[in-house]
Amino acid sequence: MKFGAHMSTSGGLHRAFALGERAGCDTIQIFSKNQQQWRGKPLGDAEIAQFKAEQERSGLGPLIVHDSYLINLASPKDDLWEKSIAAFGDELERCAALGIPYLVTHPGAHTGAGEAAGLQREIAALNRLLDAGVGGDTIILLETTAGQGTCLGHRFEHLAELIAGAHHPERVAVCADTCHLLAAGYDIRTPAACAATFAEFDRVIGLDRLKAFHLNDSQKDLGSRVDRHAHIGEGCVGLEGFRAIVNDPRFEGLPMLLETPKGDDLAEGIANPAKLRGLIAPPA
């Protein structure tokens, strides 16, 4: 299994690799710009070259970028929708320039327009970008969500509809967040529950569309629809749920990334991947 975490890029995007190595990561996720800003400073040739050199040196991968939290491709408000499309296009182009294969995004919120309208709005936004070839071969990973407020993506059917509506479905896949799955009502707390949930995922979406995991425990229990991450084994998912996931041969090779809090000394960033590795059963 490829374990990793979201890493800071303070001081330069290339610095994430050394932090990832310190934390014992096999793979990392980053923001390619300030996640609270609509657009970032354009990437220079030297910055891109330094980033690629550090990736080659460290051997970490596959790499993932998470997009800005401001983006809402499902917004019914034309001005915010257009702004979101432009910002997401910029995120895709940054991934392409850096050679990053995956861009994770939350499917957005309908803000009162209704799920059906929100999903169609999202499909239209994605198709505008995909039809124009924005981002090259970068694959968009739709993240499963907890279902807070009017957020979309908390049902597998939402993600299946978005993929089915894409004109270029080869560029759309899924990132499963364990905290969000539990909060949305998908039980993953035991091996049997995990098996049932991923059987449902396979039936509705197809396991071939699952390209990455966010491994986060949840402060809130099954069906809470509240997104609150916890350290591995310290929340309502529990160690048995994670044990089932990290020992599932179908997920071998997929990046499994932590988004749990890390202090300056990276103590938690080191402990969580180590805890996950400790759950892997020895070869028979």
- Say how far apart CA 216 and CA 221 lie, in whole Å: 13
154 among the known binding-site residues?
A: no
231 among the known binding-site residues?
A: no
214 among the known binding-site residues?
A: yes
Cβ(211)–Cβ(102) below 8 Å: yes
Signed CA dihedral, 96, 100, 102, 107: sign only: negative
- Say how far apart CA 66 and CA 258 lie, in whole Å: 12
66 among the known binding-site residues?
A: yes
Query: Coil, strand, or helix at residue 95?
Result: helix
In sequence order, what DSSP letters do the residues of 190-257 get, joined into one string? SHHHHHHHHHHHHHHT-GGGEEEEE--EESS-TT-----EE-TTSSSSHHHHHHHHHT-GGGTT-EEE
Q: Which residues are registered as beta bridge partners of 28?
A: 5
259 among the known binding-site residues?
A: yes
221 among the known binding-site residues?
A: no
168 among the known binding-site residues?
A: no
Alpha helices in the chain (DSSP H): 15-22, 45-58, 78-98, 115-131, 156-165, 178-184, 191-204, 238-246, 267-278
| Binding site feature residues | 66, 106, 143, 177, 180, 214, 227, 229, 259
| Binding site feature residues for Zn(2+) | 66, 106, 143, 177, 180, 214, 227, 229, 259
